[in-house]
Structure formats: C-alpha cells, structure tokens
Structure 1
Amino acid sequence: MHTANQILDKINAYISGLSLIHAPEGLYTPIDYVLSMGGKRIRPVLMLMAYNLYKDDVSAALAPATGIEMYHNYTLLHDDLMDRADMRRGKKTVHKVWNDNTAILSGDAMLVLAYQYVAEAPLSSLKEMLDLFSVTALEICEGQQYDVDFEQRDDVAEQDYLEMIRLKTAVLLAASLKMGAIQGGASGQDADLLYDFGINIGLAFQLKDDFLDVYGDPAIFGKNIGGDILCNKKTYMMIKTMELANGQQKAELNKWMQTQTFNPEEKISAVIEIYNEVGIKELCENKMREYYNSAMRSLDKVSVEKETKNELINLVHELMYREN
C-alpha cells in the first residue's frame, strides 16, 4: 500500500508534467497558475487510495484523479470570483491577477479539461465514472446556490446547513473515493460503502473548518480566527447558537450581525463569548465525532483486509484532528 504522501508526490509529479500552456496563452496560463499553487490535493489522494485498496499500481488512475483535482480547482476559481476573494493559498486569486472575464473563461476551460482527464478511465468503467462525476458536479452547483441563498435568509436551520455542506463539500470527497473503487474493480457494495464513508468524512471535515475558524490557534491555523463571524456566515455553530440562545443572547447576536460599523476584535470576542455560554464548542465537537464514527463504520464494512485500510484510516484521522 502507498502512503498518502507517496500518492500526493505521484499526483504532483503528474500535474507538473502536464503541458497546459499553449495558444491562446491568456486562457491557459491562469489554469497553470491555479494548479501550481499546490495544496493538500485531498480529493485525488482519496481517489487513488481507494483505488489502491484493490490494485497496487496507481499510475493507471492518475489521469482521472487529475480530472478531479482540475474540477475542484475550477470550483475554487469561480467561488473566489463570486466571493470577491483576494487570496487563495497565500497567492492572489485569478480575478485579481487578471480580471473577472479571465476567471470565468479559464474556469470554464478547466471544467472541460476535468471531463477530458476523467474520460481517460478504462472503457469498462467509463460510463459509470462519467455518470457519477456529472451527478456530483450538478450537486455541487446546488450546494453553492444554497450557500448563496442562505446569505439572504434568517431562517436557516441546522438541517438546511448540513444539506448545503453535504452538496457543496462532501459529495466530491465521496465521489472521489467511489470513482477510485470503481476503477479498481471493487464490488458495487464496497463502492457504495466508500461513498458513504466519504459523505460522513466530508461533513466532519467541513464542521472542522468551521470549528477552527472560531477555536483554532492563529499561530497554527495560519490566519486570524473569526473570519466567519465577521462576515455573518451562517455556520453550524452560528445556527445552533441562535437555536439555543436565550432572549438576551439572541438580541446580542442580532445586534452584532446587523451592525455595519464595528471593531472586528470586539465583535469576534462578543460572539465567541455567547458561543461559550451555550456550549457550542462541545456540541460541534460531538457532531464531528458522530460523522467521523459513522464514516469509520462504513469503512470497516469494506471487504478488504483491515491492514490494507490502515493508510486511509491514518490519513482521515490526521485530517480530522488537524489544527490548520
């Protein structure tokens, strides 16, 4: 079995070897720029780790795994444009280096390229792979639309938020694992179990991101905490706190969410104080643990030797208990 780091090295080497820049350079240079930013590449790593449960040589699945990474980065490129974000992985975003039109068009090209790379899967699994990829891509659009809609809503419930992050984040992790299993020749039952594993891990990971934005150590987290609080993002913690807060606490939260001019540190401190009063830290940790345990139960049922799953278990454990 390959370790996650060994697989990441293979993916990085494969992507570095791609000849992406050609005429018109204005279309392809931003794509190369985005992919050169690196990152954890967790989705293609998960795809190849799932594939590696059934087959030893992962090189045959590198092209479809690159398609998944290409697709993920396409969504980030468009998300950055929609959010008017200035930075991504410590570098300026595409619409800041170039312009909005470039971000749209180069993103569109990345989507097409993603399909081309996924389509390099073996003919025996090609239709199943493309069908799953297409359904997943549409679900991610649905999740993004829910996220946009939530900005204008004051009635977002816990289940609304969990469904949004399932669509926006978890389904791509799940599809990556299932696509790896399909290429590896797994049984339909194993492929479905790995998909369920991915959904639950995806939900746990997103809750972890929300959690670190509030309770992370800035020195380890790599950025200041409280970004979600400052932009009134309706995270699991904010939604759950509004549900559990008493009248005075709700009034205080609403005051901070409606105030246009404020001291950032003061707002973050005030909101976190209310979070602490209702015990949201423990509630969020329990919810993450619930999804993590569900994921592990699904993985446990996958019909390969437990030792074969150890690298995947180690990776997920590391991500689950990360501090950045």
Structure 2
Amino acid sequence: MGIQAIERPGTFEALELPASGVAADLKRVEERLQEVTSSHSQLIGDVCNYLIFGGGKRIRPLLVLLCARSFRHDPEGAIDVAVATELIHMASLIHDDIIDNARTRRGRATVNSLWGNRTSVLAGDFLFARALTILSRMDHRNRLGLVRLMAEAITVMCEGEIEQACQAFNCDLTEADYMEQIRKKTAHLMAASCYAGAVIGRASKREAGAMMRYGLELGYAFQITDDLLDFTGEERVTGKPAGLDLSSGILTLPILHILRDARFSADIRRMLAGRRPSRDDVKTICDWVSSSGALEYARRKARHHVEAAKACLAEMPEGPSRACLEDIADRVLVRDR
C-alpha cells in the first residue's frame, strides 16, 4: 500500500496519508458536510457554509477514517461517522464562542459576531441535531450504539464547559481538576471518534478500547498544547492575543504549575482575585510563566500523553493507517495554531 504526502487546507498540517483512499475519503467528507448542512432556512445555510469553507483541522474525521481503515473498514459508514463528529465539533465551537463572547477564532470573525447570539445558538443546535440524525439513519448494526456514544460526548462537553465557567479565576483549582476539565471539553470527543471508527471497522472489543484510549491520550496532549499557545503563540498565526485565556479566568496547566511556586503564588493570587486582570498584570504573569519552568513542565506533560497515545497503537495492525496515527500524535507537540 502506497503513501501519499498531501497538504490540505483545513486539515491537520501536511500528513502522510495512505494513498489507497483516505485523501479521497476526506474529500467525500467535505462534500457530505455541504450536503447535510443544506437547509430550508437560507440563514442557517449561510452560517453552515461560512463554517465549512472557513477551514478547520478536520482531525476528528481523520481519526474516524484512519481507525476504520486500520481494521475491516466500511467506507460509507466511516464517512457518515466522520461527518457527524465534525458537525458536533463545529456546533461546540459556535456555542463556545457565544459563552466566551469571542469576536474572532483563528483570525476569522466568529458566527456570533456576524449573526448574533440567537442565530448562533440555533445554528449550533441544528448541527448537533444533524449529526445525531446522520448516525441514526446509518445502515449499520451498531448505529444506535453510535448515537448513544456521540450523545454522551455532547453531554460530557457541555459539563466540561459549565465546570470551566464555574471555576473561573479559582486559584485553588488542582491539576487533577484541570485534567478532568480537558477530558470533558476535548479528549472525550477525540476518544469517541477513534472508538467509533474502530467499531465501524469491526475491530474487536480490545482493539476498539485501545483506539478509545489513543484518542483520550491524544486529546489530553492536544488541549495541553493548545493551552501552551496562550503563552507562546503568535497572534498572526493563532488569531488571538497572548494571555487571552488567562485574562478570561481560564487557569491552564502552566498557571496551575506556577501557582505552586512560592516565588510567584501570592502575587498571582492577588492579580487574579476574582476579577479580570489588567493588561499589565497579564503580561507580568505571562513573563513569569515563561521564566519559571512552567512551560517546560506543561510540554513534558503533553509529551507524556503523546507517548501514551502511541503505545495504544500496539493493538492495531501495522500499516499506513497506524503510521499516520503515530504522525498525528507527534505533530500535536509542534502545532502552532
């Protein structure tokens, strides 16, 4: 089986994809996204097209496709599940931006900044409903199990967002609390995507469980790296200024680590005492994070989860799909957006 190097706008950088069909499957996913988001409402259609043509990493659909192809594969079923996972992800981004009152995401205007909160909420609901409808109509013996799997993923993401909002500016948040939050917000859907792909590929329970663990560990590393970008990312690349999460009260792993450092803890607690910090305070804290070893600590944690993810792939048959999943895990550590 050959390997094809392909760089695709809107996916996870340039990846070595199995030439036998994953690139073609991803193209089918893009086409299906346009088909299933068509609506009698012109407004909903406009919102969906804005999201679809605005790009995105498409990493969750790619995980579904690769996990399915690693086993016995069901091409139509895999594409349906891949589309559903991306719709769920897109819906969650719309709702996240409403909650955060975000005006931009990755350098583009958010849906809520263009169409307002009312339309945005309904557009997100529309995408969630479309995703579950696609799964429920699949010609697959496990379709109801897949509906339950993705409905649970939506539930868990909502819980994670609520918990994060409730813990804003909480300097007593523990690292275990943080890991549970990112499990719910990010890692659970990645795990569900991998598990669903394995199920579609008729993997054994042991193999499907290993794929779920791979997705979970990958999700941990992905979110930790994303949180690092709040301190290390360039605004022209990430589309958001440094320290934005911090100024919003979202305390990520580097902050939680430096809060355990007696040299900085008292001052940071004072600056974050239940209020939005000043720009000067944010800059000061970011400088301390950079000089204290907190970034290196978070990078080590991300690397640990990447290695744990790759270890799970030992349960998969060797081949191009497995190699691509290893590549995805390694790329998480060097992503810049």
Using the size of structure 1 for normalisation, the TM-score is 0.89
Q: Report the Cα offset of residue 225 of structure 1.
A: 2.5
1:133-172 aligned at under 5 Å gives the runs: 133-151=150-168, 153-172=170-189
CA distance in 2, matches of 1:19, 1:277: 49
* In structure 2, distance between residues paired with 1:289 and 1:270: 27
Distance 2:29 2:163 in 1: 32
Could you tell me how far apart the structure 2 residues matched to 1:134 and 1:20 are? 19
What is the alpha-carbon distance in structure 1 between the residues aligned to residue 121 and residue 180 of structure 2?
27
- Establish whether residue 11 from structure 1 lines up as the match of residue 29 from structure 2: yes
Give the structure with the higher percent helix.
1
Alpha carbons of 1:8 and 1:79: their partners in 2 closer, same or farther (altered >3 Å)?
same
Counterpart position of 1:288: 302
For residues 87 and 73 of structure 2, what CA distance do their matches in structure 1 show? 24
Amino acid at match of 2:66: M
Percent identity reads 26
Task: Name the Cα RMSD after superposition.
Answer: 2.4
Deviation at residue 261 of structure 1 after TM alignment: 7.0
Q: Does 1:229 align with 2:242?
A: no
Matches for 1:83-102 after TM superposition, within 5 Å: 83-102=100-119
Corresponding residue to 1:66 among 60, 83, 92: 83
CA deviations 1:28-55 (Å, max 9, x no partner) are 4323322232211111111111111124
Partner of 1:224: helix, strand, or coil?
A: coil
Q: How far apart, in 1, do the equivalents of 2:326 and 2:119 lie? A: 40
**Which residue identity lines up with residue 318 of structure 1 in the other structure?**
R
CA 1:19–1:196 in 2, change beyond 3 Å: closer, same or farther?
Answer: closer
- Report the count of equivalent residues: 318
- In the alignment, is residue 251 of structure 1 matched against residue 295 of structure 2? no
Tell me the distance in 2 between the aligned counterparts of 1:261 and 1:48: 43
Secondary structure of 2:141's match? Answer: helix
Contact 2:73 2:201 in 1 (8 A): no
Q: Which residue of 1 aligns with 2:336?
A: 323
Larger deviation: 166-175 or 50-59? 50-59
SS of 2:242's equivalent? coil
Write out per-residue CA displacement over residues 227-283 of structure 1, whole angstroms, 9 at most, x where no aligned residue. Answer: 22333321111111112x21x522321343247674x3x434421332245321221
Q: Secondary structure of 2:49's partner?
A: helix
What is the DSSP-based 3-state SS (H/G/I as helix, E as strand, rest coil) of the residue aligned with 2:251?
coil
Q: Rate the CA distance shift 1:89–1:282 in 2: closer, same or farther, 3 A.
A: closer
Please state whether the residue corresponding to 2:272 is helix, strand or coil. helix
Distance 1:307 1:79, change over 3 A: closer
- 2:315 equivalent to 1:297: no
- 8 Å CA contact retained: 1:211, 1:284: yes
Question: Contact between 2:214 and 2:309, CA under 8 Å: does it hold in 1?
Answer: yes
SS at match of 2:259: helix
**Distance across 1 between alignment mates of 2:226 and 2:164:** 16
CA contact (8 A) 1:169 1:203 kept: yes
Q: Look up the SS of the partner of 1:233 in the other structure.
A: coil
Counterpart of 1:51 in structure 2 is: 68
Corresponding residue for residue 212 of structure 1: 229
Gaps of at least 5 residues in structure 2 are 4-16
> How do residues 121-140 of structure 1 correspond to structure 2 at under 5 angstroms?
121-140=138-157
Residue 82, structure 1, aligned to residue 96, structure 2:
no
- Cα deviation, residue 223, structure 1: 4.3
Mean Cα displacement is larger for which, 85-94 or 213-222?
A: 213-222
Q: Is this contact kept in 1: 2:87–2:128, CA < 8 A?
A: yes
Q: 1:38 aligns with which of 51, 55, 59?
A: 55
1:272 is aligned to 286
- Once the two structures are superposed, residues 42-81 of structure 1 have per-residue CA deviations (whole angstroms, 9 ceiling, x without a partner) of 1111111111112466344212211111111111111111
Seen in structure 2, the aligned counterparts of structure 1 residues 108 and 207 have a Cα distance that, compared at 3 Å, is same
Counterpart residue type for residue 179 of structure 1: A
The separation in 2 between residues aligned to 1:163 and 1:83, in whole angstroms, is: 20
Tell whether the 8 Å contact from 1:61 to 1:121 is kept in structure 2 after alignment. no
Which one of 12, 16, 20 corresponds to residue 37 of structure 2? 20
Q: Distance in 2 between matches of 1:23 and 1:187?
A: 41
Q: Which one-letter code corresponds to 1:35 in the other structure?
A: I
- How far does residue 307 in structure 1 lie from its aligned partner after superposition? 4.9
Change in Cα spacing, 1:113 to 1:274, as seen in structure 2 (3 Å) is same
CA distance in 2, matches of 1:10, 1:291: 31
Deviations 1:5-30 (A, max 9, x none): 714333223324x1634423234432
Unmatched tracts of structure 1, length 5 or more: none
Counterpart of 2:325? 312
Task: Judge which range, 2-11 or 144-153, deviates more.
Answer: 2-11
